[in-house]
Amino acid sequence: MKKRKSMNRRALALFTIFSLLFFLLSYRFLVIQITGQAEGKELRAYAQEKYSKEALLEASRGSILDRNGEPLAQDTVTYKLIAILDSSVTPENAETPKHVVDPEKTADVLSQYIDMEKSEIYSILTKDAFQVEFGKAGRDFSYEQKKQIDALKLPGITFVRESKRSYPNGILASHLIGFASLEDPKNHKLVGQMGIEASLNEYLEGKNGKIKYESDRWGIILPTSGAVVDEPENGHEVYLTIDRKIQTFLEEAMNEVNLEYEPVEMMGLVADAKTGAILAMAQRPTFNPNTREGIEENWQNIIVETAYEPGSTFKFVPIAAAIEEGVFNENEKYLSGQFKVEGSKPIYDHNDDGWGEITYAEGIQRSSNVAMANLVKKMGTDTFRNYLDYFKFGMPTGIGLANEASGVIQYRWPRDQYATSYGQGTSVTVLQMIQAMTAITNEGKMMKPYLIEKIVDEDGKIIKDSEMKVVGSPISADTAKKTLQLLETTVSGEHGTGKRFNIDGYPVAGKTGTAQIYEPGKGILTGWNNYLFSFIGAAPADDPELIVYVLVKQPQLDIEKYESGSVPVSKIFNSVMKNSLQYLNIEPDETIEEAAINTIPDYTGKKVDKVITDLSQLKLTPVVIGNGKNVNATMPGVNAKLIENEKVLIVTDGDMVIPDMTGWSKLDVMKFIQATGIDFNIEGNGFVISQNIAPNSIITEESKLEIQLQPPLDRLKVQSEEKDKKDSEEESE
């Protein structure tokens, strides 16, 4: 009985406890049902918070294009490799796992496709993490590479689509275009860091959108969730005044001079002589905006951000001022050699002794400093100072790029006032010189240098129009015409210092310059090559279309041959000016090389041999695509604009074959692809260094062309190393 009573008491206690728990649970359940809250939290809101997702919809950054719509900077799609390690992503009873189940096997396979050792990959795959990435080796995969890895069907291995800023032309105008980088990885937002990318970031960047939706525990959108989408606003397209072909002429000419003369710096600029539009802008050292390689040598856009003493190229300013003031008589004579300045040392001509008593016209041809000083004295130093303001020296042009320099006009002492007339003492910028020169080439109207042709939104609406603007009229049309005639004699005249800049068929008006270089702590540098050599010229001289300004600092000249500093300058100027005028269809004054003809006739149905002969006579480079005897088509097509030595692909009526593309540009490769329709994959930028299909192989439906390009900067380094090796071998012999 005692035992039974004890058991009853225990049973009653348990019953009471369980009854109390049941009551509490029931009460809790009823409270939650009635109030919809638990521990002060709204359960509906809690559930929504847990299963509601918000995803970013990336806006595309606007493209930067040249004036003809050719891309200079654009967004491209790349893929990032990731591995999911957490087993919770794989639903129960799933046939295919969604996470990495065999790290060792996965590491072994991936090591054959990415630039990492198997052991490195394995250590990443065995981390205690939900998902992992593979650093630099796991980024920037092309679609073709992604497809190859996807085909392996490795559990847990997947890709994330990313946007990347691409610069398809490599170093071309790199300091002008600049670059954009991912400043805020969380919001996937590219931000311009320099150049046009930075100065027009507000137009280019766009605005990201987002999508709100409800998902299951694995993040899959529920079909009944009613997703709310806030569409992204893509960035605007920026059309520059740059012409990619003219920019290419400038870049290639500078590359050649850079290899041959290894100057410390170079600057080159091509402008429309009538409007001030900048058609090309390049400098050395340069860099590749895709890889940033070379940027450590020079971050600055030295054309915009630095001022320098221009030397004798500046002389067109006092010449124009003296003509405008009516104190210039080209037949009047003066004593060259020396000009005395009260209270200071005399001013000398560059040969010290001068040429005796000569006319001012001859003095201009000979680049006489004394002639310029005399002209300033005739018009008065105060009057000349006013012309420096009229031509807007000493103030930025307002081209719209960061950190534009203004230069400094040194005009306190008498010697400075006279020295300014021949480009010493006072500092200027390349843009100021171009701006001033437009007054000479545009009938006295001075045009602001500008880079923006237009800015267009994604609907094609023009947001910002051309920045062409007249900024002053420092001289009359008659003065401009007379100044051009005098500047032409410096190239064509008997005593001209610019004879090297003569171009057959295109008379050039311009001025050479040899400026001293001052370095802090060293003073003015001495030596055969320690100068800033330059030339500013316009052509055709009677009605200029283009202004080209080239500066080469401290080139390695051949002293034994007394090689002049104007040689490397002329190699750039002459090539760029001639090719650009021909490309723009500017007719020469006289019949010259057939290269001036830049259109292709219709060769359809003609014999291949005859077409090869015709194209060769036109100074073009024919490339036969096929083994037939008759021409089906050419690429580029009929009436296309061409330049000397440009490739013309001849598609025959036979089987199409693969040529040797080594050294071809990306543009030439795209011509071939367009002509043949072959499936392709191109990696890199610049020039072709390898192709997967051997030359002369017949193209079939299964053919797929794999092309590897190398940036021009890398190509230059290889050429430079080969040149150094060859020179070293010759010296040892």
Q: Which are the catalytic amino acids?
A: 312
**Exposure b/e, 566-584, CB count within 10 A at least 16 = b:** bbbbbbbbbbbbbbbbbbb
Beta strands per DSSP E along 424-582: 446-447, 452-456, 462-464, 470-472, 509-516, 518-519, 523-524, 531-539, 546-553
Collect all residues with Cβ–Cβ distance below 8 Å to 608 and sequence separation of at least 6. Answer: 624, 628, 629, 630, 631, 650, 652
Identify the helix (H) or strand (E) that includes residue 643: none
Please, is 16 exposed, middle or buried when counting C-beta atoms within 10 Å of its C-beta (0-12, 13-18, 19+)?
exposed
Rounded Cα distance between 646 and 651, Å, is 16
Nearest to 501 by CA among 566, 420, 559: 566
Nearest to 239 by CA among 270, 277, 273, 292: 277
Query: What single letter denotes the amino acid at residue 12?
Result: L
CA separation (Å) from 704 to 219, 240, 486, 653?
Answer: 38, 35, 60, 21
Q: At what angle do helices 316-324 and 430-441 cross, to 10 degrees?
A: 40
Per the CB < 8 A criterion, the answer to whether 358 and 400 are in contact is no
Task: Give 3-state DSSP helix, strand, coil % of the chain, rounded to 5.
Answer: 35, 25, 40
Rounded Cα distance between 190 and 205, Å, is 7
The strand pair at 631-635 and 679-683 is best described as unpaired
Chain position carrying tokens 């096929």: 626
Query: What single letter denotes the amino acid at residue 309?
Result: E
Per the CB < 8 A criterion, the answer to whether 361 and 330 are in contact is yes
Q: Omega before 520 cis (within 30°)?
A: no
Identify the helix (H) or strand (E) that includes residue 690: strand 687-691
Per the CB < 8 A criterion, the answer to whether 106 and 85 are in contact is no
For 235, phi then psi, to 5°, come to -70, 165
Please, is 531 exposed, middle or buried when counting C-beta atoms within 10 Å of its C-beta (0-12, 13-18, 19+)?
buried
Nearest to 429 by CA among 263, 319, 264, 313: 313
Q: At what angle do helices 477-492 and 316-324 cross, to 10 degrees?
A: 140
Collect all residues with Cβ–Cβ distance below 8 Å to 460 and sequence separation of at least 6. Answer: none
Rounded Cα distance between 435 and 273, Å, is 9
**Exposure b/e, 348-377, CB count within 10 A at least 16 = b:** ebeeeebbeebebbbbbbbbbbbbbbbbbb
Beta strands per DSSP E along 285-404: 333-335, 338-339, 347-348, 357-359
